[in-house]
Amino acid sequence: MDRRLVLRLGLVGLDLGLLIGGLYMVLVYVPTAKDMGVVQRIFYLHVPLAWVGFLAFFVVFVGSIMYLWRRGRHWDIIAHSSSEIGMVFITLMLVSGSIWAKAAWGAWWIWEPRLTSSLVLWLIYIAYILVRSLTPEVERGARFAAVVGVVGFVDVPIVVLAVTLWRTHHSSLIIFEGGVAPAMMATLMVCLVAFTILYALLLMQMAAIRRDEEELARLRVILR
Amino acid sequence: MKFWRSVLAIAYKDLLSEMRTRETISSVVVFALLVIVIFNFAFGGNTEQMRLVAPGILWVTFAFAGVLSLTRAFIPEKEEGCLDGLMVAPIGRDAIYVGKMLSSLVFMLVVEAIALPVFTLLFNLDVFSPELVVVTLLATVGFVAVGTLFSALAVNTRAREMVLPILFLPVVVPVMIAAVSAFELALAGESWGAMSSWLQIIGAFDVVFLVVSYLVFGYVIEQ
Amino acid sequence: MENSSYLLAAFAVVWAGVFGLVFSLVVRQRRLRREIDALRQEVEKQSR
């Protein structure tokens, strides 16, 4: 137990360091983009948020498949926890994307391929979470959610394909133009790693909470 | 062989019971026509505008009509206890899926076969090409492949009429985009080559989701 | 709205979101731990 705690604390420390370092890089170190100005820096938050949102759904997918196959509680716990964290990150991605769109193009929303695909993913997340809560029986709810997780994830690449084809057909709004300077790349990498580790930590925390909740329910049953 | 016999038996049962009462098909057809007419009023009757939005209107109509008819696909099974009967019978879960899917497919195609001519009439579109028919057929297969799975799921939840659209509509987005775009191209007089990428998307969707739904269906109706 | 205030808004929202999530998880964890310890003591008492 002690070893795991040390590992956990180590990761938290590393992540804090990366987040603070990343923040410095985003706000100070990185050169300002030519056309868009300062607002372009939202990019360094926006992309990692999107990445985590999709990564979290991949974890939901794996957890769902394993749960349907093996029926271990821990698989459902992982999928459920990942869905809630992923949902938050995708929501933040959409909000930051919206603010960026307003700053750069004057509209609170643009039907740009990445934003649109993320919106559909957001809707699929909602479907996953709602199905679980709207099913009266708990085990069935977990099973149904797993089905949505599998079908939803398989859908994502097709959605991205269709949306991208659709938007390049109609207009060409590029979210960033020009070459990527090495300083920009480095900043992006730091932020990506920082957010990925953050996701892993949050996932572990959430899974522990779920496990505790089930333990609590078990204790309550014993005491009846 | 036994598989196909079970499939056809299930599909036949559904279609037969529908033919006797005709209650669902008439309400869905009326609904589809109403939606088309209301959209007409919503867009103010400007013919140039109409031509632009016509494919979108049609596919929104088909999507909603699809949700309406898919909702009813499993409700009688659940309420009359028919599903338990089906499960006890020596029929594989996969046969239930394929049978249900086929009956829903036929059902939707009938609705579309009625709505499409009316649509071209009301919107004064003089094009009625094989391209439109093929796109409609492929897209409907996609709708039904996913819709049958989700309908069986939704029927076991608390707000079943709401759950199906929440599940179904986001997942079906690629088909909607592709069908509308293909229709736009067809109505502009383009032929197969121009819409090939859209057809590929719908085709890929169909194959992928027929397979996935088929594999996963058992988990939805068990116990 | 000036360019940099959009930047500020975006950063504020994102960090508020992230810290909100972290905070709520920590609070939930603590509350659960407390309840579990209390119930565990109850179980001990009853089994005596």
Q: Do C39 and A220 touch (CB under 8 A)?
A: yes
Q: Answer whether C3 touches A (CB < 8 Å).
A: yes
User: Whole domain around residue A50: which residue ranges?
Assistant: 2-223
What is the secondary structure of chain B as a DSSP string? -HHHHHHHHHHHHHHHHHHHH-HHHHHHHHHHHHHHHHHHHHTTT-HHHHHHHHHHHHHHHHHHHHHHHHHHHHHHHHHTTHHHHHHHSS--HHHHHHHHHHHHHHHHHHHHHHHHHHHHHHTT-----HHHHHHHHHHHHHHHHHHHHHHHHHTTSTTHHHHHHHHHHHHTHHHHHHHHHHHHHHHTT--TTTTHHHHHHHHHHHHHHHHHHHHHHHHHH--
| B51-110 residues touching A, CB cutoff 8 A | none
Q: Do A161 and B223 touch (CB under 8 A)?
A: no
Contacts 24+ apart (CB under 8 A), B86-90: B86/B10, B87/B221
B45 pLDDT tier (thresholds 50, 70, 90) = low
Tell me the chain A residues in contact with residue B147 when contact means C-beta distances shorter than 8 Å. Answer: none
pLDDT per position as a tens digit, A134-148: 999 999 999 999 999
Q: Answer whether C23 touches A (CB < 8 Å).
A: no
Higher pLDDT, A97 or A224: A97
Residue of A nearest to B185 (CA): A169
Q: Answer whether A16 touches C (CB < 8 Å).
A: no
Task: Pick the residue of A118, A119, A122, A131 with the most B CBs within 10 A to test the interface with B by mutation.
Answer: A131
pLDDT for A96: 93
Residue of B nearest to A71 (CA): B219
For residues A102 and A108, give the distance between their C-alpha atoms in angstroms, rounded to a whole number. Answer: 5
pLDDT for B170: 96
pLDDT per position as a tens digit, B77-117: 777 777 777 777 777 788 889 999 999 999 999 999 998 88
With 0-12 CB in 10 A as exposed, 13-18 as middle and 19+ as buried, what is B94?
A: middle
Q: Answer whether C16 touches A (CB < 8 Å).
A: no
Q: How many domains does chain A have?
A: 1
Region A189-197: what's the mean pLDDT? 92
Chains that touch C (3 or more CB pairs under 8 A): A
Least confident piece of the model among B102-116, B126-140, B166-180, B195-209? B126-140
Instruction: Give residue limits of the domains in chain B.
Output: 2-221
For residues A130 and A150, give the distance between their C-alpha atoms in angstroms, rounded to a whole number. Answer: 15
pLDDT for A19: 86
Tell me the chain A residues in contact with residue B149 when contact means C-beta distances shorter than 8 Å. Answer: 147, 151
The reported pTM is: 0.91
Tell me the chain C residues in contact with residue A206 when contact means C-beta distances shorter than 8 Å. Answer: 25
pLDDT for B82: 77
For residues B117 and B138, give the distance between their C-alpha atoms in angstroms, rounded to a whole number. Answer: 18
Region A199-205: what's the mean pLDDT? 94
